[in-house]
Amino acid sequence: QQPVQSPQAVILREGEDAVINCSSSKALYSVHWYRQKHGEAPVFLMILLKGGEQKGHDKISASFNEKKQQSSLYLTASQLSYSGTYFCGTEIRSNNDMRFGAGTRLTVKP
């Protein structure tokens, strides 16, 4: 029931773009994205509810494809501060318990 994230790790130069994918074997009610910097707690980025909506703030956005049971996180013109591990979390029913993926480690170099 744990969602699958890909890639496991990615290294970028400042200014480059990245896409992180999150897929599930079950139909999803919502997808949540979090970022965790080394030695810190995860921090919320955004939630997407079923319906194929897309959300974003600043240069980070995400889409949710209900039919494909997957979500993608888009990081545009990456900055050094984007480095960290990104987790997607999924609910299969409203107000159901959360399942997180294993994470994608993103490293942005100058």
Residues of this chain that interact with other proteins (CB under 8 A) are 1-2, 29-30, 32, 34, 41-44, 47, 49, 87, 89, 91, 94-103
The residue (of 43 and 77) whose beta carbon lies closer to other proteins is 43
The residue (of 81 and 94) whose beta carbon lies closer to other proteins is 94
Least distance CB 43 / other proteins (angstroms): 8
In whole angstroms, give the CA distance from residue 101 to residue 31. 11
Least distance CB 20 / other proteins (angstroms): 13
DSSP state of 17: -
Least distance CB 87 / other proteins (angstroms): 6
Strand extents, DSSP E, 17-66: 18-23, 30-36, 43-49, 54-57, 60-65
The residue (of 16 and 49) whose beta carbon lies closer to other proteins is 49
C-alpha dihedral over 84, 91, 29, 18, to 10 degrees?
10
Contact between residue 57 and residue 74 where contact means Cβ atoms under 8 Å apart: no
In whole angstroms, give the CA distance from residue 91 to residue 27. 9
The residue (of 15 and 52) whose beta carbon lies closer to other proteins is 52
Least distance CB 93 / other proteins (angstroms): 9
